[in-house]
Structure 1
Amino acid sequence: MFPWGDSDSELIEVQGPRAAIAKPKSFHAHGVHFWEIGSDKRLAGAILHHCRSGIGKLRACTGGDQLALFKIGITHDYDSRFDLYRSHGWEKMLVLFYSSDLGQVEMLAPAKHVAAIAAAFAKTSSDGALSAIARCPQNDAERAMQKALCKFDLTLDAPVTYVNVGEQCLVPCLKPTDYVRTLNERGYLHRLIGCPIDSSAGALSEFWARLSKAEPQLEVCQDLADGLVDPRTLIPVYIHGDGGRTYKHDELMIFQFQPCMGHGTMHSRPVKPNSIGVSLKGHSFTTRFLFGVLQKAIYSNDPSTFERFLEHMALDLQSLYHVGVKHERTGVVFKFCVIGVKGDLPFLAKAGNMNRTFLHIRKRPFLPHSPEDPPSFFKLDVLHLYHLGVGRDFGASSLVYLMTLYEAESIPKAIEKLNSDFKSFLLSSKKVVHFKQITKDLLGYISSKAYPVGHWNKAMDTPVVVQFAEWLVEKFGGESTPDLLIRSGCKAIGVCMRTMLSSALWLDRSEAKIVGDAALHFAQCYGKLVHYFSRKVSACTIWCQNYIFGTISH
């Protein structure tokens, strides 16, 4: 890189991460340069606009797009990072923004991109809010956009509460009672019911009538039978927990609640009045309601903090069962009942050890578990069971086997051909994935004697990979036993998932039979594949069979 300087941009150099910024004696003494750092109080849009301007000027001064190779990124220690780069032949580092506030750096959300998208749609829409967002200036989009969102009532200002989970450890959260009260005041309570308020009585009555037949042993079903609660105004919800990642991939646990009923999925048939769909259609902000997040650094050293945080959530939800909330327009008092807990394995493992919190909180019945079968309160989650579980490993294993059909001279060559076909598949099917390419690490392909385990992180990548495996078998026209089993298994799980996603919350008899038969066929194909390849990898036989038939948790 070559430095520049004029009335609009002043290049300055520092001697270390914490050194005072001062004009340098020589631009080449250290190699790290700053450009127009200015104030660190600017909003994200102004900062990104400044950085974009700096990059554009750098490219112009180094000969245009083709004559300079550069990288753009974020680092907490530019000196150490540049020392590493310099050892690999890099010449200069240009620092475009500097802040000691980590949160400010992490939250450089490009609101100007939202404004650009709004501008594209505003051309064909008369919506005032869309037009106002489209007019937000590129160099200060956040401030203008916040005003536009408030003007058109597009914010939900639920209060933040800090709860004590340990000694001198306060964690922010959005209490369900505050969340529900805010939704009610703003006219959005129907988001938690899953249908319009005026048709909610019939939908809720149908839900509890069906649940009482399916699980009559639940305490809440007994209370419904005894007339202690009104099924027309009792809203069922789930507690949902899932792991996530934060700064430097540190782990955290996400706590939220979600309605059981909704408007279906993007694949389901239109939901008619009084009918019930699953709660998947629409933005996740309208189907999942955050309670809070807990960093692993907090609960790994003191597991009781996890229990305290969850107990705060449980006790608050309990008040929504006993007290409820009065609907602003109709005056009807709606109450809420948690009918289960679902999530990923780490969350369920921790929650499952907390019977006192989940099943015996002070006033009965907060959680409608079965006294004879308490573990049934924890529900299977298809997303984790298939998309991030057995389906991911089935897809990875299938691709590892199908690479042999290329008859390549080496594994890297086979993976190269596999990626070439994968690109063709994505183009022809108009599918998208969240990873750049297929690699040995992505497939968990350690060696020919190891069991492949898929390592992609996005759940919706799994059906794409499985469909690609089916596409490969059909392309090569394979008729061997593994080829036929893979193709048959792929087709079966496709039928199973498409049927569920196109159906209402309650499957009818014909849909249930299709789903059950297809799921069983997929499991049988997977089991036969395990048996077939166990002759080559005998050490994996027992593990894989137990995995398929459910005797080992995933």
Structure 2
Amino acid sequence: MDVVTANKLVETDACKSIALKRPLQPPSRALSTSLRRQNPRQVLQPYLDGSGTLSEIHSRCESIGRIAFKLPPLGSLSGKALKHCLHELDRLFDAQRPLIFKIGWTHDASWRWANDIYGYARSIDKWTNMDVLYVAKEPFSAAMLEAALIEKYQGREGCRNVQAGGETTQFPSCGPDDHYMTYASCASAVRSAKNVVKDLGNEQAQGVGGLLKLAQCSEHNAERDTRAVLVNHFGLSLPIPIRKHTVEAETVRGKPFELPMLHLTDWAKYLLKSNSWHLLAGLRRPDRLREEKIWQAWWENYRAIDPTHVAFEMEARGELLLSRTAAMVLHGDEGRGRRRQAFLVVSYKSMLGRGSHPAKRAAKKAKAVKKPYIKHETNLLGHTLTTHFLAGVLPRNQYGEDDCIFDALLAGAAEQAKEMCTTGVTDREGRKFNMFVLRTIGDWPWLAKSGKLCQTFANAVKKEQQEANQMCHLCCAGPDAYPFEEIGTKRPRWAATVGRQEPFYDTPAMAIVPHTPGRLAEHYTFDVFHTIHLGLGRNFLGSALALLSEREPARGIDERFNMLTEKYLAFCKASSHPPITHRLTKDLIQWPSTTDYPSGGWYKAALTTTLLEWFETLDGSFDADDEVMSLAMEACKALNGFVRLLFRSGAWLSAEDAGQAAQLALKYLRRYSQLACWAQREGRTLWILQPKLHCLHHMALTLWEHSQASKKSLNPVCCSTQTSEDFIGKPSRLSRRVAAQTVIQRVLERHLQNSYSEWVKAGLLVETRRR
């Protein structure tokens, strides 16, 4: 949605709008007139009813408190919309002058105002407000309106517009606004080019780069021909070759199936060729000596916690230099493809990056004067197309529960990981560089399938009289002798069984990658994102919200949840948190009756974070003798403290921080165990014990073990999947826009084209103009 704003054009979901920002006025004139007057509800409401995304953006804008929607009636013609904008601007100038202003357009007013990268709230001009004047479902009307308003007001005193307006509409994506763009098929682009050439004539069309070539493309195979123009002629794609892996056991029309893939070795070669190896070390610009110092220090820290890893033997034999060896992880998960079917995406990423937003805020608050020369940060910042390296994709209809194509994809990724460990790649100066894929990460079903694990959550008891089996690949937890539910202690019975037996029903593909002898199971690791944000955090909040509703004075359950909703939305507005959901209901926690265990039914991890923070603010609002809510509050504080500590820390936790994190996680587990015991005593179906608690228990005990040995501990966030989940959405969306018959090939091709534009934006590549 595009929005025109005075001072700045603002956009939303599938529409465009023009918005106006006003900065602080000079001290000689006080701001006596409110700039936050909303449109009459009857004018705004039809817009909100017609677009769920606009409704969400409007809610975020309300929580910010600096953005006002002053829209013309829905369906206004061009002349009326222009007259409305002129009237609003003239009224603003009459009421508020002197002031400085800027006119523009964006896809998301709240993001454009508040983002940490170039948000107006952080601008040196000190903007104070933004007015949204127009909303449209496509970018062009907003761009034209922007240009018209700039043309009229650019000469007015205080105008900060430099360009004529409408420039950004020529780009196919706008960074964080990508999901709000309108996409056109290749065939329609070819038809449009043909029509333009027909109108202009060949002679004039030659002056528009690529127009004639695009017009010469075939409409019947537009994908192939437009790629030839964009990639082969203009070079608008990363030059990573698409290799074919032959799957002999699978045939197509009597011939062996060929699986297109992107090789890790080709990614590594391109990183060296483009002078971008520094990406893997979390640096913004190349610095050969610093990169080597960073990786050498990283591996020395890793040696302390895994001294028998094969990388150190290879270094001793002179087969590699740890200072030129990057530590990587392999991630896999399913996104939503065509017709809502699963679409598998497998990728690599570095364990090091540019940090996280909480870490940046903590560093800013500490007012560190000088940044450390050797820094080890987590990999949660930067566009995921520049921090992740795609290996392959598969639509769900091409792999099953036991499918050779799925195995071939993993085998190809494993072979590449092995080659980067053993052979590596060399740069133009003959220096050798390696990568070690140390972990495979993802949700538990992915770990079970990719690792061929026979000890998984699927073995957990689901009904009475069912025999308990081992459900963890790292230990023997599960049976009555080693219950995973024993979470309230640092010395659970299953701790003595860690690494005792192999958990594989078959040899996994990643077994060929050099690893610590006898510890292959540790290669498949649990991650914080699925364990907490999409796991036990939702379980905790389900019971917590159920009990909170019982403490509201209303009689009906719906009324009680409405009262909770009011408190939650008030918190979001006061703290500038996007509420994500505008209603707390018993359906949200999957609680149809008191005989069912409540658990959060949402799939937005950010909602878990926001609800946990809100619940913590309720401390002190319960009766002193309310035992269960006191325990729940202590558990919430411990869990929030654990997550905050991890995300504001670097890639390595000091022994002190590791010990503190372990204590917080263990405290949460103890309190949750007490809550479960309380529910059992009271006969309540609350505080369900799920296997995800066991995953957190493993993390906590590992951190505790390292802290007791005075060792640094690898931050679990290094293996977390927040950004990887964002990454898989991009190829998955592409799969819905290409032909089903060639979906793998086309998705890889388009992914490389999309990545090229992001690499250019990030300053990793410099575009050259070609005719």
- Output one character per residue of 1:411-468: Cα deviation in whole Å (capped at 9) or x when no partner: 2112222222221111011112444432323212132122222121122221111112
Question: Do the aligned partners of 1:278 and 1:505 also contact (CA within 8 Å) in 2?
Answer: yes
In the other structure, the counterpart of 2:324 is 233
- Pair 530,245 (structure 1): closer, same or farther in 2 beyond 3 Å: same
Which one is further off, 248-257 or 151-160? 151-160
In the other structure, the counterpart of 2:548 is 402
Which one is further off, 236-245 or 339-348? 236-245
Give the 3-state SS of the residue equivalent to 1:442 in structure 2. coil
Match 2:292 to one of 193, 196, 201: 201
1:134 Cα deviation from its structure 2 partner: 5.6
Mapping 1:124-273, distance limit 5 Å: 133=168, 156-165=238-247, 166-168=250-252, 169-195=257-283, 196-198=286-288, 199-269=290-360, 272-273=372-373
- Pair 209,537 (structure 1): closer, same or farther in 2 beyond 3 Å: same
- Output one character per residue of 1:509-534: Cα deviation in whole Å (capped at 9) or x when no partner: 22112211111111111111111112
Please give the alpha-carbon distance, in whole angstroms, between the structure 1 residues aligned to 2:46 and 2:388. 48
Give the 3-state SS of the residue equivalent to 2:346 in structure 1. strand
- Structure 2 letter corresponding to 1:259: S
1:343 lines up with 2:434 in the alignment? no
In the other structure, the counterpart of 2:583 is 437
- Pair 424,255 (structure 1): closer, same or farther in 2 beyond 3 Å: same
- Pair 458,172 (structure 1): closer, same or farther in 2 beyond 3 Å: farther
- Pair 320,549 (structure 1): closer, same or farther in 2 beyond 3 Å: closer
Question: Do the aligned partners of 1:233 and 1:335 also contact (CA within 8 Å) in 2?
Answer: yes
Please give the alpha-carbon distance, in whole angstroms, between the structure 1 residues aligned to 2:625 and 2:326. 52
- Pair 282,480 (structure 1): closer, same or farther in 2 beyond 3 Å: same
- Pair 475,70 (structure 1): closer, same or farther in 2 beyond 3 Å: closer
Give the 3-state SS of the residue equivalent to 1:240 in structure 2. strand
Please give the alpha-carbon distance, in whole angstroms, between the structure 2 residues aligned to 1:152 and 1:299. 36
Match 1:358 to one of 498, 504, 509: 509
Q: TM-score, normalization: structure 2?
A: 0.51
Q: TM-score, normalization: structure 1?
A: 0.70
- Pair 145,453 (structure 1): closer, same or farther in 2 beyond 3 Å: farther
1:220 Cα deviation from its structure 2 partner: 2.2
Please give the alpha-carbon distance, in whole angstroms, between the structure 1 residues aligned to 2:258 and 2:384. 27
Please give the alpha-carbon distance, in whole angstroms, between the structure 1 residues aligned to 2:612 and 2:441. 25
- Structure 1 letter corresponding to 2:415: L
1:325 Cα deviation from its structure 2 partner: 2.7
In the other structure, the counterpart of 1:78 is none
In the other structure, the counterpart of 2:562 is 416
1:191 Cα deviation from its structure 2 partner: 1.5
Question: Do the aligned partners of 2:269 and 2:427 also contact (CA within 8 Å) in 1?
Answer: no
Mapping 1:381-400, distance limit 5 Å: 381-400=527-546
1:381 Cα deviation from its structure 2 partner: 0.8
Quote the sequence identity (%). 24
Please give the alpha-carbon distance, in whole angstroms, between the structure 1 residues aligned to 2:317 and 2:399. 41
Question: Do the aligned partners of 2:579 and 2:607 also contact (CA within 8 Å) in 1?
Answer: yes
1:238 Cα deviation from its structure 2 partner: 0.5
- Pair 241,69 (structure 1): closer, same or farther in 2 beyond 3 Å: closer
Question: Do the aligned partners of 1:237 and 1:257 also contact (CA within 8 Å) in 2?
Answer: yes
Question: Do the aligned partners of 2:347 and 2:389 also contact (CA within 8 Å) in 1?
Answer: yes
Question: Do the aligned partners of 1:358 and 1:367 also contact (CA within 8 Å) in 2?
Answer: no
Which one is further off, 132-141 or 344-353? 132-141
Please give the alpha-carbon distance, in whole angstroms, between the structure 1 residues aligned to 2:287 and 2:44. 57
1:479 Cα deviation from its structure 2 partner: 4.8
1:514 lines up with 2:660 in the alignment? yes
Question: Do the aligned partners of 2:669 and 2:697 also contact (CA within 8 Å) in 1?
Answer: no
1:125 Cα deviation from its structure 2 partner: 10
- Pair 140,499 (structure 1): closer, same or farther in 2 beyond 3 Å: closer
Question: Do the aligned partners of 2:282 and 2:354 also contact (CA within 8 Å) in 1?
Answer: yes
Please give the alpha-carbon distance, in whole angstroms, between the structure 2 residues aligned to 1:265 and 1:430. 19
- Output one character per residue of 1:213-265: Cα deviation in whole Å (capped at 9) or x when no partner: 20123222332344332111111100111232223432232211110111211
1:481 Cα deviation from its structure 2 partner: 1.0
1:544 lines up with 2:669 in the alignment? no
1:67 Cα deviation from its structure 2 partner: 9.3
Match 2:514 to one of 353, 367, 377: 367
Please give the alpha-carbon distance, in whole angstroms, between the structure 1 residues aligned to 2:245 and 2:237. 24
Please give the alpha-carbon distance, in whole angstroms, between the structure 2 residues aligned to 1:304 and 1:244. 20
In the other structure, the counterpart of 1:334 is 433
Give the 3-state SS of the residue equivalent to 2:555 in structure 1. coil
- Pair 255,496 (structure 1): closer, same or farther in 2 beyond 3 Å: same
Give the 3-state SS of the residue equivalent to 1:534 in structure 2. helix
- Structure 1 letter corresponding to 2:353: G
Question: Do the aligned partners of 1:492 and 1:519 also contact (CA within 8 Å) in 2?
Answer: yes
Asked which structure has the greater RCO (Cα within 8 Å, sep 6+), the reply is 2
Give the 3-state SS of the residue equivalent to 1:492 in structure 2. helix
Please give the alpha-carbon distance, in whole angstroms, between the structure 1 residues aligned to 2:317 and 2:47. 77
1:182 Cα deviation from its structure 2 partner: 3.0
Question: Do the aligned partners of 2:638 and 2:667 also contact (CA within 8 Å) in 1?
Answer: yes
- Pair 491,177 (structure 1): closer, same or farther in 2 beyond 3 Å: same
Give 5+ residue unaligned stretches, structure 2. Answer: 1-13, 18-42, 53-136, 150-158, 174-180, 190-207, 212-229, 364-370, 453-503, 699-771
Give 5+ residue unaligned stretches, structure 1. Answer: 1-47, 53-63, 74-108
1:545 Cα deviation from its structure 2 partner: 7.4
- Pair 133,252 (structure 1): closer, same or farther in 2 beyond 3 Å: same
Please give the alpha-carbon distance, in whole angstroms, between the structure 2 residues aligned to 1:140 and 1:401. 44
- Structure 1 letter corresponding to 2:311: V
In the other structure, the counterpart of 1:531 is 677
In the other structure, the counterpart of 1:320 is 420
Q: Please, what is the CA RMSD of the aligned residues?
A: 4.3
- Structure 1 letter corresponding to 2:422: H
Aligned residues: 447
- Pair 517,154 (structure 1): closer, same or farther in 2 beyond 3 Å: farther
In the other structure, the counterpart of 1:459 is 605
Question: Do the aligned partners of 2:666 and 2:697 also contact (CA within 8 Å) in 1?
Answer: no
Question: Do the aligned partners of 1:397 and 1:453 also contact (CA within 8 Å) in 2?
Answer: yes
Give the 3-state SS of the residue equivalent to 1:277 in structure 2. coil
